[in-house]
A and B are shown apart, each in its own frame.
Chain A
Amino acid sequence: MSGSQHEDSLAERRWLNALAKGDPNALGGLYELYGEKIFRYTFRMLGNRSDAEDATAETFLRVLRRSRELRADGAFRTWLFRIARNLCIDKMRQHKLLELPTDAHYTGTEERATLRVTVQQALNDLPIEYRDPLVLCDLEEVSAKEAAEILEISVPALKSRLYRGRRALRDRLGGSIEKLS
């Protein structure tokens, strides 16, 4: 565990204990720790800022509602991602979203910027069972073990979905990826 992760873990434990005791600062503290990560994850999953804001707010509201049940046993972060994921799936079902983020900024050479837009679109078009591991492992750099726990599957199953997802993404990108040198 890195120094920063260790500090996060200590802060998480403190805030969860504070939350259980009704400390009004606790939710803000947990949001400080994980708000940005959850926002990024929900944005990647939903593809637009407004829905990501909704999902992030609702994720932390659920923390508050379940405050008496939460334990500082190291599984909180996994639980948080799992809640966020379920909210994303609900939103996808409601809206059949997945259009390109309207406020995404892609910079760099024109060719690379175009490719990034193509990759984002192809990612959004993937079935959820492939998009999930790609977003968690390749974009948010969550470990395979934690990603498997979030998705409630085994590590080999996670790896299998990750590898198949990468191949599915490559197939959707077609010639665009081969043009890169």
Chain B
Amino acid sequence: MSDFYKKLVDLYAGNELTEELAGEMDQAAMRDPELARDMFTLRKTVETLQDLPKPDLTEESDYRILLKMQIQGAEVRRRSPESSHWQYHLSINS
């Protein structure tokens, strides 16, 4: 049965299994140290990867990107998109 679970380790690591099947694998891992090691290390790898900090688009980077575009002749204006759906005309005489 362990061979069946070994084929599912990639799905287990990416949390792509149903809760029930993941539970079955946890049970199987208790009886199979090799399977347990594969499951643990692969899931930890994915979790650690997903836990890496996001690169921050700083104001300085933002400025330099826009400047690079402008140097190349692009006109870049920053403004919210206009939409008639987003505009509300409120009376000032209420």
Chain A positions within 8 Å of B, measured between CB atoms, are 10-11, 14-15, 18, 24-25, 27-29, 31-32, 35-36, 39-40, 43-44, 49, 52-54, 56-58, 60-61, 64, 101, 104-107, 115-116, 119-120, 123, 134, 138-139, 162-163, 166-167, 169-170, 173, 177-178, 180
Complex CA–CA separation, A40 to B79 (angstroms): 22
Residues of B within 8 A of A (CB-CB), count: 37
Question: Which B residues are within 8 Å of any A CB, using their own CB?
Answer: 10, 13-14, 37, 40-42, 44-46, 48-55, 57, 61-62, 64-66, 68-69, 72, 74-83
The answer to whether B52 touches A53 (Cβ under 8 A) is no
- Cβ-defined partner of B79 (8 Å) among A28, A35, A64, A169: A28
**8 pairs, A vs B, C-beta closer than 8 Å:** A27-B74, A31-B65, A31-B66, A39-B61, A60-B76, A120-B52, A138-B50, A167-B42
Give A177 to B37 CA distance when docked, in angstroms: 11
Which of A25, A29, A31, A166 contacts B42 (CB under 8 A)? A166
Q: Which residue of B lies closest to A13 (CB)?
A: B81
Give the CA-CA distance A49 to B60 in the complex, in Å.
Answer: 11
In the complex the two chains form, is A53's CB within 8 Å of B65's CB? Answer: yes
Structural contact, B74 and A39, CB atoms closer than 8 A: no
Interface residues of chain A: helix, strand, loop or mixed (majority): helix
14 additional A-B pairs beyond A31-B76, A57-B64, A178-B37, beta carbons within 8 Å, are A14-B81, A25-B79, A39-B55, A40-B57, A57-B66, A60-B69, A61-B74, A107-B53, A116-B52, A138-B49, A139-B52, A166-B14, A170-B45, A178-B40
Question: How far, in angstroms, from A138 to B64 measured CA to CA in the complex?
Answer: 28
Say which residue of A40, A60, A167, A180 sits within 8 Å of B74 (CB atoms): A60
Q: Which of B44, B45, B75 has the most CB of A within 10 A?
A: B45
- Chain A residues with CB under 8 A of B65: 31, 35, 39, 53, 56-57, 60
